[in-house]
Amino acid sequence: MAVIGIDLGGTKITGALFDETGKILYRVSHLLEKRKGHEVGLLVLHLFDELIKRSGYRRDAIGALGICVPGIANRKTGRIWAPNIEGWENYPLQKEMEEHFSNSKIIINIASDRTCYILGEKWKGVAKNATNAIYISIGTGIGAGLLIDGNIVHGHGDIVGAAGWLAMETPFLEEFERYGCFESYASGDGIARQAKKILKEGRLFRESLLHGKEIDSLSSKDIFDAFYKNDPLAVSIIEKAIDLWSIAAANLVSLLNPEMIIWGGGVFGPATQLIDRIYEKASRWAQPVAIKQVKFEKSTLQGNAGLYGAGYLALTSIIKQQQS
């Protein structure tokens, strides 16, 4: 029995057909291209159909569909809060999928990207042998997937891991209400926003290489490129992010005593070589026994942790149904 896993991001959607061992047989990706609301739901269904068509599998050979979504996937209501997708503030994705597949036996299982990231790492990545691990995703936003004593932690409303809202400093600024304090400074978008703000004010770091760039099109990649050339503005911004990543990791280590913290997301591309520095700084803040028990690792799934997590959701849905 094959399954399909779909990783829905804020700008891109990727789907894969998995066999029962977890091997990816076929894979397709599309950009969202500013789709919103029901248009995105239709794209999920289109991706499913495209995988069926390309693979030559019959629809009735697909046992389950797992979907990784960028936000909160409420298991009680089946609704999704995904702030990066317009019209998905309370989107009924579970109902939409179940209605579409009502004439088939396909099981639908939807989870947040944070949950899928840690599931993917546990299944196919560096956390295979771990029972206590945290996946910290630093990309457009910031999130944390938690594996504690062998179980995924969800919380009362499936909001566990909304790490972008960690309170890291005072005073409270208006932008924290939308993005969260941690995310405002240390996410990919937050890093770019901080640089744009300083450049537009024009008072500081006038010698920065970034002054020669189109300000509104700056990305975190541009900031990292300048950082590794010792540009003073970029160094100021990235060093702040390193401090905040370290403090957040130290807090998680002290609270949860993991054996492993996995760093992933688009920023940990260019930031991968900073992981040792993050651990060193976190060691100053964290509970001293707990920090010696944890390893900081990079994700080895090359941006596919969410996709593998979605595949795992689908496969385990079949197993649970067979056991019930």
What is the CATH number for 58?
3.30.420.40
| Residue 324, pLDDT above cutoff 80 | no
Residue 121 lies in a domain: no
User: Does any domain span residue 118?
Assistant: no
Residues 55 and 193 in one domain: no
CB 147 within 8 A of CB 120: no
Q: What is the mean pLDDT of the chain?
A: 96
Q: What is the DSSP letter of 267?
A: G
pTM over cut 0.85: yes
Residues 107 and 232 in one domain: no
**Number of domains forming the structure of the chain:** 2
**What is the rounded average pLDDT of the residues 8-32?**
95
Judgement on whether residues 157 and 72 belong to the same structural domain of the protein: no
162 lies in the same domain as 294: yes
Query: What are the tens digits of pLDDT across the range 62-97?
Result: 999 999 999 999 999 999 999 889 999 999 999 999
Residues 294 and 312 reside in one and the same domain = no
User: Does 120 reside within a domain?
Assistant: no
Verify that 151 and 199 share a domain, yes or no.
yes
Q: What is the structure's pLDDT at 322?
A: 87
Q: Are residues 27 and 130 in the same domain?
A: no
Residue 132 belongs to what domain range?
126-298
Strand order in the sheet with 142-148: 151-152, 142-148, 133-138, 260-264, 295-298
Whether the per-residue pLDDT at 10 is higher than 90: the answer is no
199 shares its domain with 56: no
- Same domain? For 55 and 135 the reply is no
**Other beta carbons less than 10 A from residue 322's beta carbon:** 9
In tens, the pLDDT along 238-261 reads 999 999 999 999 999 999 999 999
Asked if the structure places residue 43 within a domain, the reply is yes
Of 162 and 322, more confident? 162
3-state secondary structure of 310: helix
- The span from the first CA to the last CA of the chain, in angstroms, equals 18
In a domain, 119, yes or no: no
Q: Are residues 205 and 94 part of one domain?
A: no
Structure token pair of residue 263: 């760093």
Cβ-proximal residues to 23 (8 Å cutoff; 6+ apart), any chain: none
Is the pLDDT confidence value at 323 over 90? no
- Residue 21, domain member (yes or no): yes
DSSP secondary structure, 93-135, as one string: HHHHHHHHTTTS--EEEEEEHHHHHHHHHHHHSTTTT-SSEEE
- Residue 261 within a domain: yes
pLDDT at residue 232 in the model = 97
Same domain flag for 312 and 264: no
Q: Residue 117: inside a domain, yes or no? A: no
Instruction: State percent of the chain over pLDDT 70.
Output: 100
Same-domain status, 284 and 308: no
